[in-house]
Amino acid sequence: MKMPEISLLEWQKRFGTERACEKVLAKIRWPNGFICPRCNSADASFIKTRKVYQCSHCRYQVSITASTLFHSTNLSLVKWFWAIYFTATDKGGISALRLAKHIGVSWPTARKILGKIRIAMADRDSIYRLENFIEFDDAYIGGKRPGKRGRGAAGKKPILVAVETKDSKAGFMAVEAVNVISKETVRHFLQHHMKEGQTVRTDAFPALNPVKEMHDHEKKVVPAEEVSKWLPMVHIVISNLKIFLNGTFHGVSFKYLQEYLDEFSYRFNRRFWEPELPLRLLNACLAHGPIKSAENC
């Protein structure tokens, strides 16, 4: 579905007050107006201070943020909506520090907000399975020495990356951080990110061999200097990913690596719809249920 482009001024106009944000949330939850979950009455009043609807018939109260991404939040919805806007419009990926300054919250709060927004991003992409012709490789993040497998890999975190390729153009991508590149982690990646029975190209690294169990496997031993010919697209994506990680996060804490990978992938997969991103991301967050594992913010 095509979404309209939205400027900062337009965002302010549409989502600049708490009431406006509450109405957006209520509209998503009850598209045809509030219905009491206990007695089905449509007659209710809204208690502003607590953001709850109270059924006029049985007095049952329902919070508009319950069962949403904003469940038990202490923050105003206006701040949440702005956080979504700034996250969507910052091409390099906004840092928690910058977000904290923009919306007037502490760094730990901004960190938690970004964590939740990135979970919504990851969930949107988790539905998709790569198909047709796919380049697939492993890479290493962090560490002092360049290079990948074997020597120099200490202090680095391995990732698996796959990109659809057609007529020298990239399609969708998927990326996952793993503890080790092994047949098990490769199998898990393939199952979660690709449709079965596609054509998947790799170099001849043995751990990537499970590819042949599910796909047409094109593999070749390639010397380092020729790898960008055999797997051009996945290497462009990996180098852009490294720039993204170094630019915003100045060397990544492995604890948050998957979050950053999810954000990179979400943006990459929507690179042709950049002007629509704020509203798309808002929709992804509005459609998302509560995130129980994350701390509240």
Question: Which residues make up the interface to Zn ion (CB under 5 A)?
Answer: 36, 38-39, 41, 55, 57-58, 60
Rounded to a whole number of angstroms, the minimum distance from the CB of residue 239 to Zn ion is 57
Rounded to a whole number of angstroms, the minimum distance from the CB of residue 67 to Zn ion is 17
The contacts of residue 255 (CB under 8 Å, 6+ apart) are none
Rounded to a whole number of angstroms, the minimum distance from the CB of residue 41 to Zn ion is 5
Rounded to a whole number of angstroms, the minimum distance from the CB of residue 63 to Zn ion is 15
Rounded to a whole number of angstroms, the minimum distance from the CB of residue 34 to Zn ion is 10
Q: Which is nearer to Zn ion, 28 or 39 (CB)?
A: 39
Rounded to a whole number of angstroms, the minimum distance from the CB of residue 42 to Zn ion is 9
Q: Which is nearer to Zn ion, 55 or 78 (CB)?
A: 55
Q: Which is nearer to Zn ion, 41 or 258 (CB)?
A: 41
Q: Which is nearer to Zn ion, 28 or 42 (CB)?
A: 42
Q: Which is nearer to Zn ion, 44 or 186 (CB)?
A: 44
Q: Which is nearer to Zn ion, 57 or 187 (CB)?
A: 57
